[in-house]
Amino acid sequence: MIVVVSVDMEGASQLRSVREIFGCFPEYWATGRPRLEADVAAACEGLLAGGADELVVLDNHGGNRINVRAESLPAGARLETWNAFDLRSHGVDAMFQVGYHARGGVDGFLSHTYVPGLRLRLDDELISEGHARAWALDAPLLGIVGNDRHLETLGSLAATPYLVVQHSHGRGEMSPVYDDPGEGLEAIRDFAERCARDAASAPTFAIRDGATFAASLPNGDGVGETMAAGGWTRAGEVEYTVELESWEGARAPLDAAMSAAVAPYGPYWLGSFDTAEDAAAADQERVAEAGEVFDAWGAESQPQWYSEPADPLPRGISRQ
């Protein structure tokens, strides 16, 4: 059994602040990445102990180019940079998700859907990044490790085994379920092992019969050309829709929506860094400016230039 370990970051068991998820900040190197790597290694150890023959770790977090180093993984696990939509062509049999957070619109720690402000819906369901990656694989989703509010709003993924490792206190704060980091890692290891052993009964999620994919974004009124190039049709001031025959058809629209929604943050993005020393050598005035912007996002407020539309959810779907 080849299992892909899909890694996000905001739902890591000991993560404490927004600055731990971006490579331009010293907090990322001191505590953020090591905490994430420890969770991923524990999950890999458990999956291998539970019967997985091979693990492929996909770093699906965008805060830095490499958030999980190959040397942090146990034997039997390797890093790849495959697109989630291509997993089936690589012979992957199942998925396990680590470090997952709540979708945008949920009052959970650092909640968002890919980028700040973006909301995605498939027919009547508001979806998370976890939904999109599970649908792209169209194979069993063995388990999820992450945030409590993500569990509470899983919707169609609710049959998936889930280990809560952090409790949300609004968008800006969390507390770990396990005060002792070692105890938390052991819980992740045990959970992953059980999930691998129960792989035969794990649920599979797929979109096969067509659906309406909808997106809304705060700057939606000004990104019509970008969205249209990705296949979207305007459905309102900041809302767009596209009809899908299968989830594979969401690849280009999803890329376009992410690019459009993240545009306001472009001037504050410093890129990725390979080492803490490279990050320390960056323009520190720009780092400080980025810190103010992302601190505001993480603390539930927004910079003055960023404002969410009055009703960012298409077709009147309410926040959960």
Is residue 222 in a domain?
Answer: yes
The CA distance from 38 to 74, in Å, is: 11
Residue 224 lies in a domain: yes
Same structural domain, 78 and 98: yes
Whether residue 265 is found in the same domain as residue 304: yes
pLDDT for position 74: 97
The residue from 142, 168, 201 where one domain ends is 201
Residues spanned by the domain of 252: 211-316
Q: Is residue 311 part of a domain?
A: yes
Which of 182, 201, 220 is a domain's end point? Answer: 201
Predicted local confidence at residue 268, as pLDDT? 87
Identify whether 206 is part of a domain. Answer: no
Distance (Å, rounded) from C-alpha 184 to C-alpha 181? 5
Quote the pLDDT of residue 301. Answer: 52
* Same domain membership, residue 15 and residue 157: yes
Contacts of the segment 173-178: beta carbons below 8 A, 24+ positions apart = 173/109, 174/15, 174/16, 174/109, 174/147, 176/13, 176/14, 177/13, 178/13
pLDDT reported for residue 210 = 86
Domains held by the chain: number = 2
Which ranges of the chain would DSSP assign to H, the alpha helix? Answer: 26-27, 33-49, 129-137, 148-152, 181-197, 224-229, 251-262, 276-280, 284-298
Together in a domain, 176 and 266: no
- Any domain includes 120: no
Residues 73 and 184 in one domain: yes
> Residue 287 corresponds to which tokens in the numbers above?
């780092």
User: Are 215 and 182 in a shared domain?
Assistant: no
| CATH code for position 193 | 3.40.50.10780
Q: Is 265 contained in some domain?
A: yes
Alpha carbon separation from 116 to 62, 131, 230, 278, 307 (Å, rounded): 12, 17, 19, 26, 11
Indicate if 227 and 166 belong to the same structural domain: no
* Run means of pLDDT, 10 residues per run, the chain, 320 residues: 96 95 96 98 98 96 92 96 91 96 92 93 94 94 97 94 95 94 97 97 87 94 94 94 94 96 89 94 93 86 46 34
Are residues 24 and 70 both part of a single domain? yes
Q: Does residue 252 sit in the same domain as residue 158?
A: no
pLDDT given for residue 156 in this prediction? 93
